Structure 1
Amino acid sequence: MTLLSLAISSIILLAIISDVVGAPQGYTSSARQFISLTRKTQPSRNISEWAEYAKNLRDATITKYSSQLSQKRGTGENLMVNQGIDTNFYGSLAVGTPPYPFAVILDTGSSDMWVSSSACQSTCAGTGNFDPAKSSTFKNMSKSFSVTYEKGYAAGTVGQDVVQMAGFTISDQTFGVVTTTTANFLQNPVTGIFGLAWQSLAASGAMPFWQALASNGQWNQPLMAFQLTRFLNDSRAGELEPGGSFTMGYTNESLYTGTIDYQDIPNGQASYWLQQITSMTVQGESISLPSGSASYAAIDTGTTLVAGPAASIAAIYAQIPGSQPGTGSWEGFYSYPCNTAVVVEISFGGPNWSISPGDFAFTSIGPTSDECYGAFYAIPTSGASGTPSWILGDTFLKNVYSVFRYDPPSVGFAALSEIALEMNGLAGGIPSATLGANSAMFTLEPSAAPPTRTSSAVAIVISAFFATLFSFVQA
């Protein structure tokens, strides 16, 4: 089928259903591309497995943020976190010549990119690994690369190659080529990490992909944005579900309402995407917070829950009747009655942003499932210069449209639109890989008991289809 006939057939197909879903949106230019994210949802676990999982989340966050930020490691060592099979939001990129797609965790809490190499055999099997020998543009930088975790590691060498994402290309991007990891460190199809924080955090010293594009004026607007879907506690959720949208160079106005409230990174500290928590309420009651840097929070898509200082976390649960501190593997967490709808609101100097009770409830346990553990947990503060006291992960970010702006360095939040909210729990196919100028898209799949889909939700799929179609024709 020719490109022309493909386009004509697609337009006819869309015309048939246009009276139901309305007219599709236009496509985006190469400087305004988006990719869909895929969220790995929670598998069934018994009580002991939930406890071990919670401990791993807590330990991984402590490890990720425990290093001195000012320390530079000539070997390229960096502390990063794989949050687990059921809590990651990942997208796709392409590496090499010819380009090959990889699934990578999109992490605003770190700054280095790395992918598993084909030389990583038994421990990395099944993740779609990168073979440097098959890329005519790969360069071995003859430097070591290692990533240390609480219960594992990944190590290899530093390389350079062509990297493409959502229509943007860098011909000499520096990244880690991992040749060994702890067994089962990565779960198919995730192949690596894509750091989206600032260069000052990069252990290799390399400028991150996003920052190179922004600093060279490659984007229409100097920002990137996330909308994350919610499948938490959805009994119908599969192993992989549509995860939302990640855009570079623009904000998708269909996914938020009102204005975006931007707050500058405190003191221009371009490392983590820091924000100062100026107020917090739980069940309508204010939580006492210290001033200044003691209330700095990293806005982190690569962290699943919310971590904070022990005193503040204790103050939060003090407002929840029946809450109790956890012990053993649950140390740092708190339990509370599941029939209590906990509402937390956070402000960074502007509007209050609410976390839904469903997101606050991390998991229920016990034979009658009447006891829940909260998604806020305590971690020790190291006192290292620039290390944030709070880590605001996906528990918070699923409730807002989040924008990360290069100039001036700032973070913005906006209320989610009806279209964005309708994506929560919406069954669908898995987005295809993003290669070069071809934006990823997904299609909705039928099921035995399909959820209700409004015309606006279907219109999103139609819009994504058109964006992919036109970029394909242009290519």
Structure 2
Amino acid sequence: MNSLANETNGLGLAGTGNSGILGLSFPVEASIPDTSGTTLLENLFSPFNESNRYFAIKLGRDQDSSSFSIGELDTAFANSTADFTYTPVYPAAPSIYDYWKMPLQSLTINSTSFHLSDSRVKGSSTPIAVFDTGTTLILGPADDVDRFWDSVGGSRKTDNGWQVRCDRAMVLGFVLGAGDSAREYFVDPADLSWIEGGRQGDWCMGGVQANDDVRVARIFATPT
């Protein structure tokens, strides 16, 4: 659904050169009631057949290396939907969906398995990850994040969160999905020692930070 916003608070849109926010969540989380119309996502998908109802986002490190497509592939990254791995969205309740969520089976650091705390989502045997392009960092429970950086080494905890040495290299993988659709996805090392987030000498902001206030176990920014 498209609408004009006459006023925004605390978003800093003017300072970042942005003019708005594009929300692609499910109808149950829409701010506008369904009695007023359908959501933007439903409207965007309506012209497409079932096999083409998808969107793809690539967040680059500059304005020239990002892409957003609806019902069409960006050939710089994929040539056929046959390359897709299909995983059902984890529901908030039977047949009710709120956010783009997937089961998080495990995490690996340099190919070594890292134990995660139990799921905070009732009825789920594994932690649940939420994908949110509006979240810059990977967020998780403080206990898990503290153990993660202790395992990585070359890191320190400050009043503003975790920092890691800017030249600290690691291979971080997340095993996402369920059953036959589960597969490991790797994070660009540049997203783990995040120079863009601020630098203090040889120390950079860590790309994984603690947040115990979220309703689910983990929140992921869309990978670069």
TM-score, with length taken from structure 2? 0.79
State how far apart, in whole Å, the 1-side matches of 2:155 and 2:17 are.
Answer: 38
SS at match of 1:195: coil
Which residue, out of 201, 207, 226, partners 2:57? 226
Structure 1 residue 339 displacement after superposition: 2.9
Match of 2:86 in 1: 262
Partners of 1:309 and 1:245 in 2: how far apart? 31
Shift of 1:353: 1.0
Tell me, yes or no, if the aligned pair for 2:90 and 2:100 is still in contact at 8 Å: no
Tell me how far 1:275 sits from its aligned partner. 1.0
Which protein shows a greater Rg? 1
Change (3 A) 1:180 1:314: closer
Higher helix share: 1
Structure 1 contact 300–391 (Cα < 8 Å) conserved: yes
Change (3 A) 1:176 1:201: farther
Q: Partners in 1 of 2:76 and 2:155 — Cα distance? A: 39
Name 2:6's counterpart in structure 1: 178
Correspondences of 1:408-419 after superposition (within 5 Å): none
Q: 1:180 to 1:266 in 2, by over 3 A?
A: closer
Counterpart CA distance in 2 for 1:299 and 1:276 is 11
Please give the secondary structure, in 2, of the residue aligned with 1:275: strand
Q: Which one-letter code corresponds to 2:169 in the other structure?
A: A
The match for 1:211 is 42
Displacement of 1:365 after TM fit?
2.9
- Looking at structure 2, the residues matched to 293 and 256 of structure 1 have their Cα atoms a distance apart, in angstroms, of 32
The offset of 1:227, in angstroms, is 2.3
Residues 362 and 375 of structure 1 are in contact (CA less than 8 Å); yes or no, is this contact kept in structure 2? yes
SS at match of 1:281: strand
SS in 2 for 1:318: helix
Aligned residue in 1 for 2:106 = 279
- Whether 1:323 and 2:155 are equivalent positions in the alignment is yes
Q: How far apart are the structure 1 equivalents of 2:54 and 2:22? A: 16
Secondary structure of 1:391's counterpart equals strand
Q: CA deviation at 1:361?
A: 0.8
Shift of 1:373: 2.3
Q: Supply the distance in 1 between the matched residues of 2:199 and 2:7 (Cα, whole angstroms).
A: 39
Q: AA paired with 1:390?
A: R
Deviation of the 1:282 alpha carbon: 1.6
- Residue in 2 that maps onto 1:248: 70
CA contact (8 A) 2:157 2:163 kept: yes
Tell me the alpha carbon deviations over residues 10-47 of structure 1, each in whole angstroms, 9 at most, x when there is no partner.
xxxxxxxxxxxxxxxxxxxxxxxxxxxxxxxxxxxxxx
* Equivalent in the alignment of 2:186: 354
Per-residue CA deviations over 1:103-141 (Å, capped at 9, x if unaligned) read xxxxxxxxxxxxxxxxxxxxxxxxxxxxxxxxxxxxxxx
SS at match of 2:83: strand
Deviations 1:339-394 (A, max 9, x none): 3202210111322111121111113633xx32222111000145xxxx32211014
Does the 8 Å contact 2:138/2:219 carry over to 1? yes
C-alpha spacing 1:322/1:254, structure 2 compared with 1 (3 Å) = closer
Q: For 2:131 and 2:184, how far apart are their aligned partners in 1?
A: 16
Q: What is the TM-score of this pair, normalised by structure 1?
A: 0.39
Equivalent residues in 2 for 1:123-202 (5 A)? Answer: 173-179=1-7, 181=9, 185-187=13-15, 189-202=17-30
Aligned in 2, Cα 1:184/1:210: closer, same or farther, shift over 3 Å?
Answer: closer
Cα deviation, 1:199-245, whole Å, max 9, x if unaligned, reads 1111222432122332x3x12411111223234xxxxxxxxx21422
Cα distance, 1:174 vs structure 2: 4.8
Change in Cα spacing, 1:190 to 1:335, as seen in structure 2 (3 Å) is: closer
Q: What does 1:4-403 align with in structure 2 at a 5 Å threshold?
A: 173-179=1-7, 181=9, 185-187=13-15, 189-206=17-34, 207-214=38-45, 216=46, 218-220=47-49, 221-231=52-62, 241-256=63-78, 259-267=83-91, 268-289=95-116, 290-291=118-119, 292=124, 295-327=127-159, 330=160, 333-349=161-177, 350-363=182-195, 365-366=199-200, 369-381=201-213, 387-394=215-222, 397-398=223-224
- Distance across 2 between alignment mates of 1:392 and 1:193: 18
CA contact (8 A) 2:194 2:204 kept: yes
Q: Is the 8 A contact 2:138 2:208 kept in 1?
A: yes
User: Percent sequence identity over matched residues?
Assistant: 23
Q: Distance in 2 between matches of 1:344 and 1:183?
A: 31
The 1-side partners of 2:55 and 2:185 are apart by 20
How far is the alpha carbon of 1:294 from its aligned partner?
6.2
Structure 2: gaps (5+ residues): none
Structure 1 residue 180 displacement after superposition = 5.3
SS for the counterpart of 1:179 is: coil
**Distance of 1:319 and 1:343 partners within structure 2:** 13
Q: Secondary structure at 2:22's aligned position in 1?
A: strand
SS at structure 1 position matched to 2:14: coil
Q: CA RMSD in A?
A: 2.5
Contact 2:105–2:126 (Cα < 8 Å) also in 1: no
What is the deviation of 1:264?
0.7
Contact 1:360 1:374 in 2 (8 A): yes
Q: Equivalents in 2 of 1:192, 1:199: separation in Å?
A: 19
